[in-house]
Structure 1
Amino acid sequence: MLERFFENPLDHGRALQQQIQERIVQAILDGALSPYEPLPATRSFANTLKVSRNTVTLVYERLAEDGYLTPVNRRGYFVNERYVREQLNVRVDDRSAAMFPHAAKPVDFEKRFRISPSRQSNIVKPAWRDYPYPFVYGQVSPDQTSVSRWRDCVRQAGSARNAQAWMGDLIDADDPMLIDQIIRRMLPKRGFRAREDEILITVGAQNAVYLIANLMCGPGTRVGVEEPGYVDARNIFLAHGAEIVPQSVDSNGLKIQEGLNGCALVYVTPGHQAPTNVTLTMQRRLALLEAAEREDFLIVEDDYEHELNYVGPQHPALKSFDRAGRVMHIGSLSKPVFPGLRLGFVIAPPPVIRELRALRRLEYRHPSALDQRSMAIFLADGHFDAHIRRQRDTLSAKWKTILREIERQLQGCGVTMTTGGSALWLRLPEGVDAGVLQKAAMARGVLIESGTVHFVTPPAGRGFIRLGFAAIANEKIAPGIKLLAEVLASVPRRAA
């Protein structure tokens, strides 16, 4: 019976031991192997699979260590009969049908939901790797050097020397090595310092926004957000019952207007405004802090892309000018490196961190301690800084290329000038609908993002698109923009 689990050939691009073990385990779980007959002898099985005998021997030994197999002297390896019995005892049967002969009444879940997040307007990202020209934001092309370095750091973190840092439940604590690295290596580059009791590690920057909203927002809480702005943050505040107060954005960032009056919280992305990528000017930063003290509101600074500046020096964070402790600073550890890793942090006064920590404990206790230690080693060994230098060089070249090609081939579009980041914000020619253009471009293999979703009032965004350039190869930018220009010329215009 084991042979049918090996009808498909092994993939020699993956570890052979792992593949063989996976298939034998699957055969055991499916009940395909009798506990009274030995598994094939290592030599004959190795010949059948065309692998070395040592490979099969190591797999059998490991399965025996894990309790799946039992070695019997001079007879070979047998499926652990006790394990098989345990599996049989937990299998689902049809007894419930005999006990409850009548059909169950269906549950109306809709009436039980307090909110319906699935109905919110969200950014939809298709399988972007399937598109030849992915001008998609929030994804990166792989940096093989950093992948290799990260793999080394994970191995170090998993060693006996570091195992005590992640084997146990941290309850509500964070890895002290990671906290130390953030304090010494990251925050000084953002222009400020913090103590250990002012830092909390989160599952990405967005999770930090959610924790703050959960702590500070309820029905009727007025939250100022940028317009256009980061849609996921807006939806998080809405999910907690907050009243959204849109705040206009121009080429200098958030406008400091009377609309901030009455807000309890103001969410801003001053380093690279989402989605326009403009940088909040120094004059407006100081004006925002003055307004916060005068009108008694708190500021959530989402500095998700702090490191990616290509013109002039790095901008200090808004937090660096905060005298009164009104700014809660959010940063991402994973977005500049591996977005799927999901590690971030929030810097805030000790009373806020204390409550956020207690709230985080209720939700998920703490982010993976193994990932925290791996990131701490990645920072300590200088790999993070080296990655940022390589990424900045790569993205700077792409930024110059895409600006040049937009000017050359999309002359009817108005691009919002930036000093960095990984995307550009474009105003489309009069009458062009971003949603229509997006669908037509996708049909030609060009993936772009409609600006509509970033506005509280969606029709206001019909004339804008966002072009991310971190995931696309530099040499593909020019032909991708050329295709987009052809699509743009072919789509119908709305009547004035």
Structure 2
Amino acid sequence: MYLPLDHDSPEPLYRQVRRQLQNAISAGDFGARRLPSSRELAASLGVSRNTVNLAYQELVADGYVTAEPRSGMVVNPELVARLAAADDPGSAPRRPRPAWLRELAARPPRDAYPHIAKPADWQRYRYRFVNGHLPFETFPTAAWLRCLRTALTAEHRAASLQDSQDADDPLLLRALCRDVLPARGIATTPDRVLVTSGSQQGMHLLATALIAPGARVAVEDPGYPDARHILARAGAELVGLPVDHWGVVLDPWPDDIAMAVVTPSHQYPTNATLSAPRRGHLLDLATAHGFPVVEDDYDGELRYVGRSTPALASADPAAVVYLGSFAKFLAPGLRLGYLVGEPELIAYLRDLRRYMVRHPPGHLQRALALLIGSGEYRRWVRTLRSLLRERWLAARQAVDRHLPGWRYDPAAGGVSLWLRAPAGLDTRLLAGRAAAAGVLIETGEASFLCDEGPYDSVRLGFTAVRTADIEPGIAALAAEARALLGGR
């Protein structure tokens, strides 16, 4: 019997023998005949009997062959019968795809709202004004690797590798309460904190726990599309609140609101900071009507002029559930965030999370706790804030110089600029032309609740583009915009 074996392949010889025998059996080459003995096959192939025996053991374990007394190895009779039936022209036709798969494929979308579309190859663009990404080259790689290694030493190994059921790493909880949340004005204790796989998981847990089908949820319009999807899929009826220079507009307040979701530090996507009078008014509304306020503080520490505004949760921790994330400060791919609320809520969400993912990976939790405790995280935030302030200034100056007809509010912080194009310019067409010229931008229509448009907005992210590339990139974008406007 001939089986082609590659002695230089990294695949072990016994696995090569096993694979080729399995293919021959599945093709019906053996039928019900006996397979060669291990001695015969080893001599035929020029390999040891141990190699053949290992291959046969795997085939027996997987049910391809059986060891018959005094007969040696034979193809599993059940497999022989199935192969014969498949070759019989009168046998039953091939089974159709299961009905549940066909129904799933035909099922309508779970909600009608558009999604944020980010190209997978965004890094190949020179002028990449995308959102949700940090420059990989600036990640604190050396410090993170040290913490990952330390998290597997004897002192920390159990916390990194054990099944913690529904518990979070106590070291990380203490680090959040001691070193991270106070910078946002939040004084809290570990029993009020839940670690999440990013702020989206936090939003999903809250929607699952607190939203009944048909409940009316107040959201900003324009606002964060992913929160809108999560809430709508939980059965919420979304009620849009307009946004102006001072943040979300609260008057008139709609009836029967079960939850309000806001981004008060830097409103998504306009970057407006919720004014002090409106902050107080929103908390009064929450108290009077008995609904929770969910504060998504996705980039609250990234303020470049003056001091950061304290989190809304710092004023009334009982009324406000706080969502925080490490995506804007470390890397979105780490998928780590946290949620702060009253102990009863945290206990409920912890139980809910347990039967979804149990807990975020212990190794990442312990490494992050070590990074924060070493002071490296705070140093990194200061470094990142300085770098992004430089890019924020460059982006503002370039927009003022090259896009004079565009409207934008030069907010004091954030990770992007929210631009409104001149009348007659469809930013969807502009995005296509700009991409062909090497300029990647994100249009803003997905941030609005209305079915169509408006198609005049761009959320110009500056975190992932090199500072030196910001002005030439915006100049190239302006050239494409002028071409679409007929030279205007």
Question: What are the ranges of 5 or more consecutive residues in structure 2 without an aligned counterpart?
Answer: 20-46, 65-78
* Counterpart for residue 212 of structure 1: 206
Summarize the alignment of residues 238-387 of structure 1 with structure 2, pairs less than 5 Å apart.
238-322=232-316, 325-387=318-380
* Counterpart for residue 103 of structure 1: 94
Measure, in 2, the Cα distance between the counterparts of 1:259 and 1:442: 41
1:101 positional shift: 3.4
Measure, in 1, the Cα distance between the counterparts of 2:63 and 2:215: 50
- CA pair 94-162 structure 1, distance change in 2 beyond 3 A: farther
Local SS of the residue matching 1:166: helix
Measure, in 1, the Cα distance between the counterparts of 2:217 and 2:380: 36
1:476 positional shift: 0.4
Local SS of the residue matching 1:224: strand
Q: Percent identity?
A: 35
Measure, in 2, the Cα distance between the counterparts of 1:30 and 1:309: 61
- CA pair 103-395 structure 1, distance change in 2 beyond 3 A: same
1:333 positional shift: 2.5
Measure, in 1, the Cα distance between the counterparts of 2:269 and 2:369: 30
Measure, in 2, the Cα distance between the counterparts of 1:225 and 1:121: 16
* Counterpart for residue 140 of structure 2: 146
- CA pair 145-104 structure 1, distance change in 2 beyond 3 A: closer
1:282 positional shift: 1.3
1:259 positional shift: 3.6
- Specify the code of the residue in structure 1 equivalent to 2:333: G
1:492 positional shift: 5.0
1:367 positional shift: 0.4
The answer as to whether partners of 1:34 and 1:79 remain within 8 angstroms in 2 is no
Measure, in 1, the Cα distance between the counterparts of 2:167 and 2:284: 34
- Specify the code of the residue in structure 1 equivalent to 2:95: A
Measure, in 2, the Cα distance between the counterparts of 1:346 and 1:288: 20
Is 1:422 the counterpart of 2:406 in the alignment? Answer: no
Considering only CA atoms, is the larger Rg found in Structure 1 or Structure 2?
Answer: 2
- CA pair 137-458 structure 1, distance change in 2 beyond 3 A: farther
* Counterpart for residue 28 of structure 1: 12
1:262 positional shift: 1.4
- CA pair 130-264 structure 1, distance change in 2 beyond 3 A: same
Q: 2:57 pairs with 85, 90, 104, which one? A: 85
TM-score, normalised relative to structure 1: 0.82
Question: What are the ranges of 5 or more consecutive residues in structure 1 without an aligned counterpart?
Answer: 6-23, 36-74
1:116 positional shift: 3.1
TM-score, normalised relative to structure 2: 0.83
Local SS of the residue matching 1:271: coil
- CA pair 471-145 structure 1, distance change in 2 beyond 3 A: closer
CA RMSD in angstroms comes to 2.6
- Please give the per-residue CA displacement for 1:175-203, whole angstroms capped at 9, x wherever unaligned: 00000000000111111211221111100
Local SS of the residue matching 2:314: helix
Local SS of the residue matching 2:367: helix
Measure, in 1, the Cα distance between the counterparts of 2:249 and 2:175: 35
Measure, in 1, the Cα distance between the counterparts of 2:80 and 2:173: 53
- CA pair 193-82 structure 1, distance change in 2 beyond 3 A: farther
- CA pair 179-115 structure 1, distance change in 2 beyond 3 A: farther
- CA pair 366-129 structure 1, distance change in 2 beyond 3 A: same
